[in-house]
Amino acid sequence: MSDRSLLGPADVPDETLLAYAVEQLGLDPLTSTLVGSSVEVVDYALDAITTGGRWWVTAHVGTPGGARAVRFFVKLVQSWSRSPFFEQVPPEFREMAERGVPWRTEPLVYQSDLADRLPAGLTMARAVDVRYLDELSAVVWLPEVPVLPSDWPVEQLAGAARLLGRLAASSRVRSLAAIGEEDGRRGVRSYAEGRLGVQIAPMLRADDLWRHPALDAAFGPGLRGRLLDHLDLVPGYVDWLESLPEGAAHGDACPNNLLLQPESSDIVLIDYGFWSTQPLGFDLSQLIVGDVQVGRRPAADLAAMEAACTPAYVEGLRAEGCDVPLDVVRRAHALQLLIFTGLSSFFFPELQGPPTPQVHAMAAERAAITRFAVDFADATA
């Protein structure tokens, strides 16, 4: 009826697409026909190791009252062993690396009843369909979510932090927190012994990379030395973090994955690839640093964002009956920010190219992230 070859194995038969459209539009299936469809690749600049493709699919439906159209977001989720980035993993570490990123998490979340359990103020799209293509991939069909663009001022981030605190401590959500962990644990120890220990620590300890003029200018021996001091303390940090209460974590709660809506105050959570059980405070890291990492806001904003978001997150915990003290949550947040972000901010792909002014500017911002993370860890000790 129309060319949807861009979808490849993620496509469905015309009659299935019509059924999706009829359900979304509330039409009578007996008097509705699929008169056409179109596909376009989603314009998304950030790579994800478990995403094989993202598309917009528009279905055009003929009805007695005239033509109607509805658009779907289609996402192919796969084991990251199928990602081109997997080739960068040394062969001896590939089994551990693949196990550390359980690709089935997102399909499982959309197949669950999490939408009915989220705290008031958070919501999620209800999947139109989840189809497993083979033993290492699945496709998720979702309705389009109207999005209200925002620069995420600090007070808006604090509101999101409050809701993420409620999410972490919610008794209704807790039973689903580990939904994707049956084929791999994604706690702080897994990361520390995996990517941090195998990839980041050797680069941090070796001198070669640090001779790069952009890193030398931005970090210098002083900041690198502070990173090395903290790197030696990571095993103790991990032990302490594992002694804390755990909660449900979105896993990548950057503003990019928190959609604001034009006709509702609810925040729509998307992208559940890193949904997991984590120590309290985990989601604060990406909330405040996510837009800084991709260049949407300056690292100079980090202190103000942290000062507003951590107390708001604790307010969310309190709303769900969790009484972990603020200073404990701040310390947990500081250490998780350091381990997952601060210790690796020096490494970014552009370092492989010539030391252009743009690379120097990126290195300076990465150094500012690192300095904030190190200072924050020191201040909460």
- Average pLDDT (248-260) is 96
What gap in Å lies between CA 279 and CA 235, rounded to an integer? 15
Least confident of 89-93, 115-119, 171-175: 89-93
**Long-range contacts, stretch 80-86, CB < 8 angstroms, 24+ apart:** 80/49, 80/50, 81/136, 82/52, 82/136, 82/137, 83/49, 83/50, 83/52, 85/47, 85/49, 86/49
d(CA 117, CA 319): 15
Please give the Cα distance from 26 to 65 (Å, whole number): 13
Looking at the predicted structure, is the pLDDT value of residue 46 above 70?
no
User: Which tokens sit at 314?
Assistant: 């604790």
Architecture field, domain 146-379: Alpha-Beta Complex (3.90)
Q: How, if at all, do strands 246-249 and 276-279 pair?
A: antiparallel
CA distance 75 to 56: 9
pLDDT band per the 50, 70, 90 thresholds, residue 88: low
| pLDDT beyond 80 at 101 | no
Backbone phi and psi for residue 121, each to the nearest 5 degrees, phi listed first? 105, -20
* Domain 1-144 falls under CATH 3.30.200: yes
Q: Please compute, for residue 93, the number of CA atoms within 13 A of its CA located in the half-sphere on the CB side.
A: 17
Does pLDDT of 141 surpass 90? Answer: yes
Q: Can you tell me the distance from the alpha carbon of 346 to that of 340, in angstroms, rounded to the nearest whole number?
A: 12
Question: Would you say residue 266 has pLDDT above 90?
Answer: yes
Residues 142-199: tens digit of each pLDDT: 999 999 999 999 999 999 999 999 999 999 999 999 887 765 556 899 899 988 998 8
pLDDT at 49 over 90: no
Q: Give me the percent of the chain exceeding a pLDDT of 70.
A: 93
Provide φ and ψ at 283, rounded to 5°: -70, -15
For 156, counting Cβ atoms within 10 Å of its Cβ (0-12 exposed, 13-18 middle, 19+ buried), the class is: middle
Residue 325 is encoded by which pair of tokens?
A: 């003290």
Distance, in Å, from the CA atom of 235 to the CA atom of 339, rounded to the nearest integer, reads: 10
What pLDDT does residue 93 have?
66
pLDDT confidence of residue 81: 76
pTM of the model: 0.93
108 band by pLDDT with thresholds 50, 70 and 90: very high
For the chain, domain boundaries = 1-144, 146-379
Q: What is the pLDDT of residues 210-233, one digit of tens each?
A: 999 999 999 999 999 999 999 999
Sheet holding 264-269, edge to edge: 122-123, 264-269, 258-261
- CA–CA dist 41, 53 (Å, integer): 8
**pLDDT at site 185:** 57
